[in-house]
Structure 1
Amino acid sequence: MSSPPAELPRLSPAPDGALSVHGSAVRIGARGLLILGPAGAGKSGLAAGLIALGATLIADDLTLILPGGGAPILRAPARAPVRLELRGLGLVSPPTSREAPFAAALLLAPSRARLPEPDTWPVHGVEIPLLRHPAQPDLAAKMHLWLS
């Protein structure tokens, strides 16, 4: 089992055994993607691009990770408005999903190689695939294809 990379945000305990993390989450088909990165890295912009390709928003800015039967579950905090912040434009209410199985985490950061070795992030006892990629105009299409 790998240890969490230092550049990942801290997972904080939340009610009901959940963990909270600063990041946005979308559902693509039956799979959930957690988008991570520092403030201003492009998390919401990437979520918007994925939604334009058919994804639905689970949470923007703060996501809960709950233990699940097989995979952990991505969900928005209770009573949190499910809206997406579009920097420079304001808040929008895109199509949403309540939750999705946590299929992968994407850290908006330079990738280590053109074809990187697989990496994982241990969350709730499950090794979640961890991808690294800088925010670029083609990233939404790449992630949509990768998760489809």
Structure 2
Amino acid sequence: MTDQGQIHATTVSVEGKGILLMGPSGSGKSALALGLLALGAQLVSDDITLLHRDHDTVTARAPDAAPAAIEARFVGLLRARLTDAVPVALVIDMGREESERLPPHRTTTLLGVDCPCLHKVAHNHFPAAIMQYIRHGRLE
């Protein structure tokens, strides 16, 4: 089965694994992406992400006309090299803030595929925690 769509989201890649940051305008998607870029992630898309489903894999990429840039609020549009499409390995829901110290495993559905999902964490360690999660996973 194949399907496709467009989502208001910013996507970065770490070691070929996509991290899709979704949420309303002003929720901090680009700010979190900048933090992840500073830790070695690569930009896939900023603001708009195209999704494509092939069987049980959802792939994220930038629209064809997307600028090679990321918005840094109150700084401007910053140049950034865009990387190729990546399979989505983790979704961060920036519209929901985490309140549990050890949250349960959550998923969200993209194009009919369940993907691991974290809620926004309003602490400075969040970008580093995401990098550790995407590289090494999480205990059950």
Does the alignment reach a TM-score above 0.5? Answer: yes
Q: What is the CA deviation profile of residues 25-78 of structure 1, one whole-angstrom value per residue up to 9, with x for unaligned ones? A: 000111000001222111101101111111000010111111135411010112
Question: Are the counterparts in 1 of residues 3 and 111 from structure 2 also a CA contact under 8 Å?
Answer: no
Question: Are the counterparts in 1 of residues 69 and 81 from structure 2 also a CA contact under 8 Å?
Answer: no
Pairwise CA distance, 1:137: 2.4
Alignment of 1:125 onto 2:112:
yes
Corresponding residue of 2:92 = 106
CA distance in 1, matches of 2:63, 2:43: 13
CA distance in 2, matches of 1:135, 1:34: 18
CA distance in 1, matches of 2:123, 2:31: 10
Pairwise CA distance, 1:94: 1.9
Pairwise CA distance, 1:107: 0.9
Amino acid at match of 2:9: G
Calculate the aligned-residue CA RMSD, in Å.
1.6
Amino acid at match of 1:122: T
Corresponding residue of 2:73 = 87
TM-score by length of 1: 0.82
Amino acid at match of 1:120: T
Corresponding residue of 1:72 = 58
TM-score by length of 2: 0.87
Amino acid at match of 2:24: P
Pairwise CA distance, 1:85: 0.3
Q: Show structure 2 runs of 5+ residues with no match.
A: 136-140
What is the DSSP-based 3-state SS (H/G/I as helix, E as strand, rest coil) of the residue aligned with 2:127?
helix
What is the DSSP-based 3-state SS (H/G/I as helix, E as strand, rest coil) of the residue aligned with 2:129?
helix
CA distance in 2, matches of 1:95, 1:52: 13
- Cα distance, 1:102–1:137 mapped onto 2, change above 3 Å: same
Alignment of 1:145 onto 2:132:
yes
Flag the structure with higher strand content.
Answer: 2
Match of 2:102 among 115, 122, 126: 115
The 5 Å alignment of 1:36-75 reads 36-75=22-61
What is the DSSP-based 3-state SS (H/G/I as helix, E as strand, rest coil) of the residue aligned with 2:57?
coil
Aligned residues: 133
What is the DSSP-based 3-state SS (H/G/I as helix, E as strand, rest coil) of the residue aligned with 2:34?
helix
Percent sequence identity is 33
